[in-house]
Amino acid sequence: MPKTLRGKIEFAQLSDTGRVREHNEDAIGSDPELGLMVLADGMGGYNAGEVASGIAVQIVSELAAEGAKRENRDEIDPHSGLMRQSIVLRDAVYRANKIIFQTAQSQTHCEGMGTTIVAAMFYDNKVSIAHVGDSRAYRLRGGKFEQVTLDHSLLQELVDRGFYSAEEAQRSTNRNYVTRALGVEPTVEVEVHEYEVLPGDVYLLCSDGLPDMVEDEDIHLTISTFNASLDVVGKQLIELANDHGGRDNVSVMLAQVIQPFAARKGLLVKLANLFRS
């Protein structure tokens, strides 16, 4: 197993309060060595939103890092069919939900707090993406830009049921009613998917402060235009959101795949694969 993904994937991240909010309730954290990115968008009165998002990023980052070092991540979980890295990521989000919920119950000033989350973990030429709520993950591959997560929101449910088209949903003012968030209930359903990764892919994680202010086409154009520097892409996206009103905090995390990062397989795994073929 490679000790680091540094040099295989380039990362950039940026978070901004925006033009309207007094403080930033988003939180972001990454570990380029492990190929881990975590983004949370908190909600709640006073400073409770930033407490929830901060807990989410800290817990998921710590547990995912511990699990990545402990688990043999090229195994497949027989129950879910997911790679071990995906199980590690999902379980870390479960744990974060439990801690945020318990904190909200025990601390008066944190009552009613919660947070959305989206996290990505790269391993063995794949990426696992876990999310709860309406923080998003996008992928740009070969000129095609697409959202790879579906919002856990009332609006998305209405789109799924045919009440809105995707275009109408993009223009809707009722986009922020989430149907799922961390810390609201004792347990939460975490959505996890795995995707094959190719050199040249660009992955974007963002809080809803970006797509609420900037059309997907403009996000695509910005990444395509400035992709020689992910830091510049991040700054341009934040600037666009603020130029269009900046009504919310906005956070962006970017990863560009430079070269393949296949995991080194142990002897037993190689033998097992040999007998399968």
Q: d(Cα 145, Cα 233) in Å, to the nearest integer?
A: 15
CA distances 122 to 3, 175, 178, 237, Å, are 13, 30, 27, 23
Q: Are the CB atoms for 136 and 211 separated by under 8 Å?
A: yes
Q: 22 to each of 135, 207, 240, 252, how far by Cα in Å? A: 20, 17, 19, 19
For residues 37 and 120, is the Cβ–Cβ distance under 8 A?
Answer: yes
**pLDDT level of residue 158 (50, 70, 90 thresholds):** confident
57 Cβ contact partners less than 8 Å away, ≥ 6 residues apart: 27, 28, 29, 38, 39, 40
- With a cut of 90, say whether residue 9 has pLDDT above it: yes
For 92-115, how does the pLDDT look when each residue is reduced to its tens digit (9 = 90+)? 999 999 999 999 999 988 999 999
pLDDT value at residue 244? 96
71 pLDDT higher than 90:
no
CATH class label, 9-276: alpha beta
pLDDT value for 149:
97
Helix (H, G, I), strand (E, B) or coil at 90: helix
Which of 23, 13, 76 minimizes the C-alpha distance to 50?
A: 23
Q: Is the pLDDT of residue 3 over 60?
A: no
Measure the CA–CA gap between 161 and 174, rounded to whole angstroms: 16
Buried b / exposed e over 30-61, threshold 16 CB at 10 Å, is bbbebbbbbbbbbbbeeebbbbbbbbbbbbbb
Which pTM was predicted? 0.90
What is the average pLDDT across 124-134? 96
Domain segments of the chain as ranges: 9-276
First CA to last CA across the chain, in angstroms?
22
Closest by alpha carbon to 36, among 53, 57, 52?
57
Distance of CA 151 to the CA centre of its chain: 12
Q: Residue 265's pLDDT is what?
A: 67
Q: What is the pLDDT of residue 1?
A: 38
- For 91, the enclosing helix (H) or strand (E) is helix 84-106
pLDDT digits (tens, 9 = 90+) for 220-244: 999 999 989 999 999 999 999 999 9
Share of the chain above pLDDT 90, in %: 73
In contact, 43 and 25? CB cutoff 8 Å: yes
Residue 121's pLDDT is: 97
Q: Give the whole-angstrom CA distance, residue 209 versus residue 38.
A: 16
Helix, strand, coil percentages (3-state) for the chain, rounded to 5, are: 35, 25, 40
| Other Cβ atoms closer than 10 A to 89 | 27
What is the number of H-type helices and E-type strands within the chain? 7, 10
User: To which residue do tokens 């009332």 refer?
Assistant: 154
